[in-house]
Amino acid sequence: MNRTILAIVVVLAVLGALYFWQQPPQQTRTPAPEPARSIQEAEPPAPQYPVPEPPSALDADVGGGMESPPGDAPEPGPEPAPPLPALGESDPLASQALQTMFAAGDALGLFNIDGFIRRLVVTVDNLPRTRFSLKQLAVQTAPERFLVRAGAGEDEYFIRPENYRRYVPHVRLLESLDTAAFTGLYIRYYPLFQAAYEELGYPDAYFNDRLVEVIDHLLATPEVSDPVRLTRPHVLYQYADPELESLSAGQKTLIRMGADNARRVKAKLREIRARLTRLEID
């Protein structure tokens, strides 16, 4: 497994809420004992797929106090990683990471770098939902118009096979993603992903668990062969099959990109899932 992927599409603005406990005025009386913590206030559940912590400066110093044999110079420890920037200042870091992971020089043109880590977390979290906002996409939308052909029946349309070419640059980009580079950078920058996920309103949840859950959801997308029938009750096209129309935004995107592209994306998603569920520091 020498390559891997992340998927596309999705949504929503980030809202953070602060709650303050309003204390009553102080009175000169013996305070009542604090009530016992309820089960709901217990420690959050342990992550199902934990991400290991990257080496720190402290790790680099481990063993520094041990005496070396006479005449032998102590071996230098690993270089400590520089501290991560704040989430709101992480765009230059994200841009550099993308350049490291993708060989194509024009790869950055397919991404929305402004607020990239937040965008990526929002994108992942919203792939299983039925609606999304284009304003928070982590990647650029596919160019050109959505292509259909009219059928013989009333309000009958079909996706034209030429439409699938719109997604080829995205699929090729995903296939070019180096697995080792991705895994190392994901571990290194994971605190930023987790911080962005907590901003979405999940202070006790774990982003890597959510990412694996979303990948499983996308892998469950049904395989659909051409021709894919559509209707157009209003401005937008819809799948004529009610089961397809009820799918999530992420699953509809896989179907809309065509069976061959969807198979290639799923193959890479399986690879990345295998890595995410057994992360180790190389």
Q: Does any domain span residue 25?
A: no
Structural domains in the chain (count) = 1
85-to-90, 93, 185, 195 alpha-carbon distances in Å: 6, 8, 14, 12
pTM for this model (two decimals): 0.75
Q: Does any domain span residue 263?
A: yes
The dihedrals phi and psi of 137, each to the nearest 5 degrees, come to -65, 140
Q: Does any domain span residue 204?
A: yes
Q: Please name every residue paired with 122 in a beta bridge, in sequence order, or none if there are none.
A: none
**Which tens digit of pLDDT belongs to each residue from 155-178?**
999 999 999 998 998 898 889 888
Which residues make Cβ contacts (< 8 Å) with residue 167, sequence separation at least 6?
142, 256, 257, 258, 261
Q: Does any domain span residue 44?
A: no
Q: Does any domain span residue 279?
A: yes
Contact indicator for 180, 282 with CB cutoff of 8 Å: yes
**Which tens digit of pLDDT belongs to each residue from 175-198?**
988 877 788 889 999 999 999 999
Q: Does any domain span residue 54?
A: no
Would you write out the chain's pLDDT as a tens digit for each of its 282 residues?
333 333 333 222 222 222 222 223 333 334 445 445 454 556 778 899 999 887 654 444 444 444 555 555 556 655 667 899 999 999 999 998 888 787 666 677 888 899 999 999 999 999 999 987 778 888 877 767 888 999 988 899 999 999 999 899 889 888 988 877 788 889 999 999 999 999 999 999 999 999 999 999 999 999 999 999 999 998 889 999 999 999 999 999 999 999 999 999 999 999 989 888 887 655
DSSP letter, residue 152 = S
Q: Does any domain span residue 36?
A: no
**Which tens digit of pLDDT belongs to each residue from 119-163?**
999 999 999 999 877 788 888 777 678 889 999 888 999 999 999
DSSP letter, residue 162 = G
pLDDT of residue 74: 58
Q: Return the ∠ at Cα 11 (arms to 148 and 97), rounded to 5°.
A: 105
Identify the domain containing residue 210 by its residue range: 83-282
Which among 267, 282, 49 has a CA at the least distance from the CA of 180?
282
Q: Does any domain span residue 77?
A: no
